[in-house]
Structure 1
């Protein structure tokens, strides 16, 4: 069936944005746990390393330009989602601060989202506890649509207009692609605001369908206003529209009016300006932003649209700021850096950090290589895998892709190779941020430790798997096998009996008999 959800509304006011918000409120943290909302490309150690380099570079530029460090540099992540990116960035900041002899309390990280459920998850996550307890991490509800302050839920105080003496650093990964935009059609130097009609395969008003289901079944029809639009009611948007009209290009353009307003409200919290770091899919040049057909929604539980990075460049540069953008033709994401400081700041370190860690070989390049390796693991040998993991900065997600191949190769490892593999496993474990996904990498890591004869570590990781992912017959059997190989026969017997009490498990039955025979032999020797 076909249900009318909305007859006619300006694109930025459409019901699709309410459905988007409802989706995240309904799904909460499970949107990321289930993999419905893609986030790996913006939540891995490599992209966190690039961001940490730019943040430390900004701090050094500010100090070099005469700013005092009476307050820390506040880093506000908008739409923090799973919290995984924050974990990686805090680790990278910690390491880089030591290298540059910067006091660890020089940075204050604030994770934000508009749903309390996500904050409640972050507050108790074991990987974040150290940073919470030493004051380097706080959390707040922040709504990009209207929040004008940041009420910290752990520290207890509120960051208000003019509270910060250093510029505020803002991180917006996969954020601007999912919040309301205006849509305009440009034709021969005129701009026309676009409206949308929304139909759906599901009856949204009945209340029997989730927001995700409704979004998956929506389809949009666009129309442009007949009369040219001369004023939007927002001075920044009006100036951008005038700028685009002067290009005399034709096509549809997404205008991030809410993004501009959000940046203005955040910048008002500091007396010194703003640094904005963004990774998202989108268009970099003015010409790329003009498209011949209306935008289609990329659906993944929620939906997303391409970000107009050129509009943000124009916004910052027209307000006396700077923009660092990559060359066009990025395949997966664009990583951009924008800054506007109220006092003269020589951004020497920041420019170099962006050039070296984004411009030359950035997060998009890393993700491109990763996808190639992910799709062809059968072609890889040990040295290829070890090199990939080192380049990834020992990313546990990437390790999980390679674990089946490593287990397959393990019987032929030399002793020196086993030692290296063991070290790599430990380094990847150090970077693991569990979300409770269905795919359990810890059990696979334990299997690899078993294959390289590291039985104590295998036992430790099997026990970790059971504590994080719950009881699993296969994991219990493997743990029993480890105890058998390490000579802890009584422990092995106890686990095997537990397995068999739950149901018949042929391998467990066979191993139990071997354990009992070995115990009998031991008792005979003692007699």
Structure 2
């Protein structure tokens, strides 16, 4: 997607407000067409919001808020606290969050309080994928997880929970609703305005293409669109909702020069979600965007990022002001968050305040934080081989046993394998086990089960290696290299007949294996 216009282009629409642009139809078509593949092949970035460090930090904050609410109740209710994740995408964050929540509740002795986590998205194919995923089924069976079809841009004020077969409407929930929205609002329809010398103008967009009769559901359609923008003076009373117009008027009065993205559809969705619990809402959101008003004026035109889909920076300042105008509160970091803004917003805070939620946020995001760790990892990952064993292991532990990070560290660990003490070998094997427990499979080409199994075999952990080579066969199908390595584990475990059968099967697929002794790598 590029800006500018050319005479040879076919115009799809002319001078449309951003929220009404054909871009959003193309965006929806993309996600409906590709489903989980959007994350499977990493076309749509998601790692920064789908890792154990962020999931654990957010679980601490949510649990803090729920404990604040529970402490203010005259008696413990039987209704569960509902935690709704908008745009759950690959499902990986939900899996990691639920694991972290279970760990924290056990440590705190809070497992008796009912909580229901609801994964949602607007594409039915994503819901089918989650409901069939074996890693999520235990949470469903335990009554901790449900699913719902939720369209942020077209929210009608109801929530149908598919597993419990429950329909929620206005006032259905006695307890406050918690909403998690990671990398969601940057891909939801927004409006764009430009302010100069007290005059508010809406930004209008003309969309054209070099491809006549372009199918909006076609692959890579967003890369074939060309944008041109213009401006039209408008009155600050732009929307039907007075509270939205109040926000626009505030920007018009205070800013002088610069564009403002305005998340009207997202705010309308939050209004309807808050009605489910009679106006009480706790929003915890992570995305790229702006929290302070001063940074809004630095943008001359909306900055569009294309990655299979497309995204825009989130105007979190508008969220903050919207909550404040409704008597709400917000919690944000005491420093600039460079890679990911994480902020909390509250309507109808408990009467006793929110000491536990505020403390949890402070500990999770104002000190050593997922954002800081992400930046540190970017600097370290090219130099893992230079780190000592204990430094590498500390890095993995600080990531809260991130399977991807451990996978990246494996070559450096392998270089040190012959010099490891017995205690170090045990520690590495334990780290692999904990990282694998955090792995949520969505079908990426990288076979971490195979890589972890090979390392465990080198550590002398043949039984654990065998289990992961078997897992590799389940996830990626029969591969002669996996079968051969599985046979090596079986030989080491004193099961020669089973090993022989695996070798025969491997040799039938790849006869040259008969000349190989030892483990085989899987590099392609």
TM superposition score category, shorter chain reference: over 0.9
Q: Please, which of 341, 355, 366 is the counterpart of residue 362 of structure 2? A: 355
Q: Please, which of 262, 267, 275 is the counterpart of residue 268 of structure 1? A: 275
Task: After TM superposition, give the deviation of residue 422 of structure 1 in Å.
Answer: 1.1
Moved more, 214-223 or 1-10: 1-10
Q: Please, which of 253, 256, 268 is the counterpart of residue 249 of structure 1? A: 256
Q: 1:20·1:211 contact (CA, 8 Å) conserved in 2?
A: no
Q: Please, which of 120, 127, 144 is the counterpart of residue 152 of structure 2? A: 144
Task: After TM superposition, give the deviation of residue 168 of structure 1 in Å.
Answer: 0.5
2-side partners of 1:373 and 1:46: how far apart? Answer: 17
Who is 2:118 aligned against? 110
2-side partners of 1:73 and 1:227: how far apart? Answer: 43
Q: 1:326·1:359 contact (CA, 8 Å) conserved in 2?
A: yes
Q: Please, which of 177, 181, 189 is the counterpart of residue 172 of structure 1? A: 181
Who is 2:39 aligned against? 32
Q: Please, which of 17, 20, 30 is the counterpart of residue 23 of structure 1? A: 30
The alignment status of 1:300 with 2:307, answered yes or no, reads yes
SS in 2 for 1:127: coil
2-side partners of 1:134 and 1:342: how far apart? Answer: 29
The alignment status of 1:184 with 2:193, answered yes or no, reads yes
Q: 1:272·1:343 contact (CA, 8 Å) conserved in 2?
A: no
TM-score by length of 1: 0.92
SS in 1 for 2:153: coil
SS in 1 for 2:282: strand
Q: Please, which of 464, 477, 486 is the counterpart of residue 471 of structure 2? A: 464
Who is 1:509 aligned against? 515
Who is 1:521 aligned against? none
Q: Please, which of 444, 447, 450 is the counterpart of residue 437 of structure 1? A: 444
TM-score by length of 2: 0.93
Who is 2:331 aligned against? 324
The alignment status of 1:394 with 2:412, answered yes or no, reads no
Structure (1 or 2) with the larger CA radius of gyration: 1
Change (3 A) 1:175 1:62: same
Deviations 1:157-212 (A, max 9, x none): 11111000111000000000000001000011111111001123444x343x7544
Who is 2:496 aligned against? 489
Q: 1:285·1:328 contact (CA, 8 Å) conserved in 2?
A: no
Deviations 1:254-302 (A, max 9, x none): 0110111011000000025000000000011101012342113111111
2-side partners of 1:54 and 1:410: how far apart? Answer: 39
Cα-Cα RMSD: 1.9
2-side partners of 1:168 and 1:422: how far apart? Answer: 40
Q: 2:480·2:507 contact (CA, 8 Å) conserved in 1?
A: no
Moved more, 216-225 or 73-82: 216-225
1:19-418 correspondence to structure 2 within 5 Å: 19-66=26-73, 68-70=75-77, 71-147=79-155, 148-203=157-212, 205-207=213-215, 210-271=217-278, 273-327=280-334, 329-341=336-348, 344-418=351-425
Who is 2:521 aligned against? none
Q: 1:165·1:272 contact (CA, 8 Å) conserved in 2?
A: no
Moved more, 471-480 or 188-197: 471-480
2-side partners of 1:292 and 1:67: how far apart? Answer: 49
1-side partners of 2:374 and 2:323: how far apart? Answer: 28
Deviations 1:207-231 (A, max 9, x none): 3x75441112223111110455542
Q: 1:411·1:451 contact (CA, 8 Å) conserved in 2?
A: no
Deviations 1:363-413 (A, max 9, x none): 211211222232322222211111011111111121111122222321221
Moved more, 374-383 or 329-338: 374-383
Q: 1:411·1:452 contact (CA, 8 Å) conserved in 2?
A: no
Q: 1:166·1:272 contact (CA, 8 Å) conserved in 2?
A: no
Who is 2:3 aligned against? none
Deviations 1:8-36 (A, max 9, x none): 21111000001111110001011111111
Task: After TM superposition, give the deviation of residue 462 of structure 1 in Å.
Answer: 0.8
Task: After TM superposition, give the deviation of residue 233 of structure 1 in Å.
Answer: 2.5
1-side partners of 2:389 and 2:350: how far apart? Answer: 52
Change (3 A) 1:327 1:408: same
Unaligned 5+ residue runs, structure 2?
A: 1-7, 519-524
Q: 1:67·1:166 contact (CA, 8 Å) conserved in 2?
A: no
Task: After TM superposition, give the deviation of residue 119 of structure 1 in Å.
Answer: 0.9
Unaligned 5+ residue runs, structure 1?
A: 513-527
Deviations 1:329-387 (A, max 9, x none): 32211000000116634111111111111122322112112222323222222111110
Q: 1:450·1:458 contact (CA, 8 Å) conserved in 2?
A: yes
Task: After TM superposition, give the deviation of residue 467 of structure 1 in Å.
Answer: 1.0
Task: After TM superposition, give the deviation of residue 488 of structure 1 in Å.
Answer: 3.1
Q: 1:69·1:106 contact (CA, 8 Å) conserved in 2?
A: no
SS in 2 for 1:224: strand
